[in-house]
Amino acid sequence: MTDGIYQPVPDSYFDIDNATKENGFTMPSDILTCSLLRTLATSKPAGKFLELGTGTGLSTSWILDGMDNDSTIISLDNDETLLQIARTFLGQDKRLDLVQSDGEEWIKSNKGQKFDYIFADTWHGKYLLLDEVLEMISKGGFYIVDDMLPQPNWPEGHQEKAINFVKYLENRSDLVVTKQHWATGIIIAVKK
């Protein structure tokens, strides 16, 4: 077995990838992670999805590709320039609600909502307001994060933060957690 992805990539993926490179965005989700996100998305028919950290919509395009027609996704980012790229290539998809908001503000005003699948790809819902976001996962729902393997650009102190974050997830009695040393380092947790 190799890491190759031999299934078709989402229609808009290469357009978004080109626009992302032109924009110079430095934090795009990698394609292996995206492929896993799509596979997991397909396991939640009629699911309610949440993505924290849209960026330019790379991961969003893969999640949408895995979702069925009865599913919906809210994806948010605080950077309108990045969101504009996602809007250009994905905005016509009626299942998608692209929201420009600060993560903290959005989470605090949407505490009552429940989701079957959360991809937490920004500070909030990962290193900030973690309990609030874990509370939003439905029973049997996924909580997914990437970028957990050490990276050369991590600022001083970030590795310790990451270690504590993983320990915290592993100690939660309401989560079943798997860590993967693959792609950028993935954690998949399911809510009991």
Ligand X SMILES: C[S@@+](CC[C@H](N)C(=O)[O-])C[C@H]1O[C@@H](n2cnc3c(N)ncnc32)[C@H](O)[C@@H]1O
Interface residues with ligand X (CB under 6 A)? Answer: 27-29, 53, 55-56, 58-59, 77-79, 82, 102-103, 121-124
Could you say which DSSP state residue 128 is in?
Answer: B
Q: How far is the CB of 34 from ligand X (least distance, A)?
A: 7
Q: Which helix (H) or strand (E) holds 99?
A: strand 96-100
| Tokens matching residue 85 | 């790229």
- Pairwise CA distance, residues 52 & 78, whole Å: 10
Task: Give the separation between CA 115 and CA 57, rounded to whole angstroms.
Answer: 19
Residue nearest to ligand X (CB): 55
Q: State the nearest-atom distance from the C-beta of 84 to ligand X, in Å.
A: 12
Between 58 and 137, CB nearer to ligand X: 58
CB of 103 to ligand X, least distance (A): 3
Rounded-to-integer distance, Cα 160 and Cα 49, Å:
29
Cβ nearer to ligand X, comparing 180 with 184: 184
Q: How far is CA 65 from the centre of its chain?
A: 14
Q: Among residues 58 and 133, whose Cβ is nearest to ligand X?
A: 58
> Of the two residues 117 and 176, which places its CB atom closer to ligand X in the complex?
117
Cα separation, 176 vs 69, in Å, equals 28
- Rounded to a whole number of angstroms, the minimum distance from the CB of residue 97 to ligand X is 15
